[in-house]
Amino acid sequence: MAEDLTTGGTVLPITRWGTPVMHNPTRPVTSYDDDLRALVRNMFATMRAAHGVGLAATQVGVDLAVFVYECPDADDRLHVGVVCNPEVTLPEGKDRTLESTEEGCLSLPGGYQPLARPDLATCSGADAWGEEIKINGTGLLARCLQHETDHLNGTVFGDRLSTRARRNLYQHHESLVHLYPDDWPITPKRSSADG
């Protein structure tokens, strides 16, 4: 049984959109070592502190192709794991069904906007020990697998929105960003009552 990497990590500040690491493709994972597993522990700690369902290494300022997730599927079953060097395969033709739902990003806190994505996604890659894995995602998990893999390719979900929707997204974020300290989630989100 592989060791549990979902505990024992340190919460890190979440990197915001506009930082170069968020907008460039990442380096592939080539060393499945203790440093990688320490990063994964820190990513789980950070994702949980921020109440997220997925987190890419770029979101803690590391340009490495790895993400973690703790996310329910369409049947509300919780899936937890880590994927290195992910590749997402999406249905095509008549098998492809788009689902438009609100999407947000921990690196643009407070901003949400509807985005249509396929409701099924298969993600293949390696775990934190270099063993091959494949995850079949439905519902929110399918969206999460696509969103996190996008991050590792230098794409933020705002890049997939129309100009108008992107403007709305940024306005939404700007109206709430004051609630998120610069080192969030190390320093918790402020309640709106705090001013």
Strand (E) or helix (H) holding 39: helix 34-49
Task: From the candidates 3, 103, 148, 174, give the one annotated as an active-site residue.
Answer: 148
Sheet holding 120-126: strands in order across?
A: 54-56, 66-72, 78-89, 120-126, 132-138
Determine the residue type at 78.
L
What is the DSSP secondary structure assignment for residue 13, as one 8-state letter? P
Q: Which residues pair with 115 in a beta bridge?
A: 101
Q: How far apart are CA 91 and CA 89, in angstroms?
A: 7
Q: How far apart are CA 129 and CA 139, in angstroms?
A: 27
131 is catalytic: no
- What positions carry a catalytic annotation? 148
